[in-house]
């Protein structure tokens, strides 16, 4: 029989603490995300399919479970992100997405931390897309005109991480179905990045045709950009929201994904292309292939990166946040969270672990 072991402490890490742990640490987090993709590509992760909880009475809403396990060089962490997407929240003045991340001890299985995770999710999404853009741009002239189709919280984080790449940007372009959202994001960019002009476009076509790099960060549930000719200048496309592009555009492009099995589901644009063609031969590479330098994207074709988003990325960033918060003494521990931990004695008579 194993020696008795103390029940792990349980901590709650609120959003303000998460924000302090990641703020201004773009380069560290880019390296962390790259390391995590390398771990995933070499079989050091467990990343089962995401589970979608949907509601017949609320067809636009969903809650997604992303369980995962990551074996790092010096530690292992298991856990799950539980993230909701309720687009109607925007009309309520609330962010669309909210999330928590649970970290589990790999020895005992006990959860030891619950972290506010909308920030973690936005950071890992932005760092993943920026990393892909950086690697894809190695085979062409770095983008100078970057456009955002969708101007919400994810776009804000994407701007931060793309700016951290150090490219010489001539112009940020913006387009949103809500002109008010576009104008608000433009004001934010003018304040945080005053040296780069911002242009608010009056149509999606205008934005796409004028940019070397186009970022899709919308809440679209089905393809709404359908004309391949809009991409005749062969931009890089970060298709973060996954469902904006028609199968015609997907099939006319070079396609890079984060994980083939994950992205070919839930009626993503590439999933629709697979359903139309009956094969997946149009997928050219994964991000790990770029990192391993076994694939180089052509400069004379439109290249689309479609990241489904991996739970191991949330674990990596969440573990980073937990570790930094512990080092800085900013963990809020819930004493006695695990109460009835003896096999037979009543909790009020327990003096230690069974």
pLDDT of residue 345: 67
Closest CA to 66 of 31, 103, 34, 22: 103
Place of tokens 């890089």: 236
The total of other beta-carbon atoms located within 10 Å of residue 335's CB is 6
Task: Look at domain 127-306 and name its CATH class.
Answer: alpha beta
Enumerate residues 6+ apart whose C-beta is below 8 A from 340: 347, 350
The mean pLDDT value of the chain amounts to 94
Predicted confidence (pLDDT) per residue in 146-182, tens digit: 999 999 999 999 999 999 999 999 999 999 999 999 9
Tokens standing for residue 137: 């741009």
pLDDT of residue 3: 63
Q: For 176-275, list the strands marked E by DSSP.
A: 198-200, 213-216, 236-239, 254-257
Q: What is the mean pLDDT of residues 31-51?
A: 96
How big is the chain, counted in residues? 354
Closest CA to 164 of 40, 22, 344: 22
Tell me how far apart the alpha carbons of residues 106 and 82 are, in angstroms, rounded to a whole number: 19
CATH superfamily placement of domain 11-120+311-349: ornithine cyclodeaminase, domain 1 (3.30.1780.10)
- State the SS3 of 5-72: CCCCCCEEECHHHHHHHHCCCHHHHHHHHHHHHHHHHCCCEECCCCEEEEECCEEEEEEEEEEEEEEC
Judge whether 230 and 209 are in contact, CB under 8 Å.
Answer: yes
Angle between helices 153-163 and 179-192 in degrees, nearest 10: 30
Tell me how far apart the alpha carbons of residues 107 and 132 are, in angstroms, rounded to a whole number: 34
- The residue extents of the domains of the chain are 11-120+311-349, 127-306
Q: What is the mean pLDDT of residues 107-123?
A: 96
pLDDT of residue 2: 60
Tokens standing for residue 66: 């992303």
Place of tokens 């940007």: 169
Closest CA to 262 of 313, 302, 297, 303: 313
pLDDT of residue 58: 94
Closest CA to 212 of 155, 261, 164, 173: 173
Judge whether 290 and 139 are in contact, CB under 8 Å.
Answer: no
Q: What is the mean pLDDT of residues 220-235?
A: 97
Side-chain half-sphere exposure of 290, counting CA atoms within 13 A: 26
Judge whether 282 and 302 are in contact, CB under 8 Å.
Answer: no
pLDDT surpasses 60 at 215? yes
Judge whether 185 and 148 are in contact, CB under 8 Å.
Answer: yes
Tell me how far apart the alpha carbons of residues 347 and 306 are, in angstroms, rounded to a whole number: 50
pLDDT surpasses 80 at 64? yes
Tell me the pLDDT band of 354, cut-offs 50, 70 and 90: very low
Percent of the chain with pLDDT over 90: 86
pLDDT surpasses 90 at 230? yes
Angle between helices 118-136 and 15-22 in degrees, nearest 10: 30
Enumerate residues 6+ apart whose C-beta is below 8 A from 170: 144, 145, 196, 197
Q: Are strands 254-257 and 303-306 parallel, antiparallel or unpaired?
A: parallel
Q: What is the mean pLDDT of residues 68-92?
A: 89
Judge whether 61 and 88 are in contact, CB under 8 Å.
Answer: yes
Percent of the chain with pLDDT over 70: 95
pLDDT surpasses 60 at 349? no
pLDDT surpasses 90 at 4? no
Tell me how far apart the alpha carbons of residues 191 and 306 are, in angstroms, rounded to a whole number: 30
């Amino acid at each position: 029989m194993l020696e008795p072991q103390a029940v792990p402490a349980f901590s709650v890490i609120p959003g303000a603490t998460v924000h302090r742990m990641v703020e201004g640490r773009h380069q560290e987090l880019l390296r962390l995300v790259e390391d995590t993709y390398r771990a995933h590509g070499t079989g050091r992760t467990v990343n089962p399919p995401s589970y979608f909880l949907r509601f017949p009475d609320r067809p636009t809403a969903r809650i997604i479970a992303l369980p995962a396990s990551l074996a790092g060089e010096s530690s292992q962490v298991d856990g799950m992100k539980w993230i909701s997407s309720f687009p109607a929240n925007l009309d309520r003045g609330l962010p669309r997405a909210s999330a928590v991340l649970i970290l589990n001890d790999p020895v005992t299985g006990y959860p030891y931390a619950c972290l506010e995770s909308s920030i973690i999710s936005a950071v890992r999404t932005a760092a993943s897309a920026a990393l892909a853009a950086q690697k894809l741009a190695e085979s062409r002239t770095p983008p100078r005109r970057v456009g955002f189709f969708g101007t919400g919280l994810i776009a804000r984080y994407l701007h931060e991480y793309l700016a951290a790449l150090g490219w010489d940007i001539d112009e940020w372009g913006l387009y949103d179905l809500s002109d008010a959202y576009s104008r608000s994001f433009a004001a934010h960019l003018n304040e945080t990045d005053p040296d780069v002009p911002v242009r608010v476009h009056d149509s999606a076509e205008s934005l796409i045709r004028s940019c070397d790099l186009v970022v899709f960060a919308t809440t679209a549930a089905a393809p709404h950009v359908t004309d391949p000719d809009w991409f005749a200048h062969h931009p890089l496309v970060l298709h973060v929201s996954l469902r904006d592009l028609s199968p015609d555009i997907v099939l006319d492009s070079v396609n890079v994904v984060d994980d083939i099995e994950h992205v070919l589901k839930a009626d993503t644009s590439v999933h629709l292309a697979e359903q139309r063609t009956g094969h997946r031969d149009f997928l050219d590479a994964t991000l790990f292939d770029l990192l391993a330098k076994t694939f180089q994207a052509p400069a004379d074709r439109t290249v689309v990166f479609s990241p489904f988003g991996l739970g191991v990325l949330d674990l990596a960033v969440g573990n980073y946040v937990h570790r930094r918060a512990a080092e800085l003494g900013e963990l809020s521990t819930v004493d006695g969270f695990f109460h009835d931990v003896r096999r037979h004695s009543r909790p009020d008579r327990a003096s230690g672990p069974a």
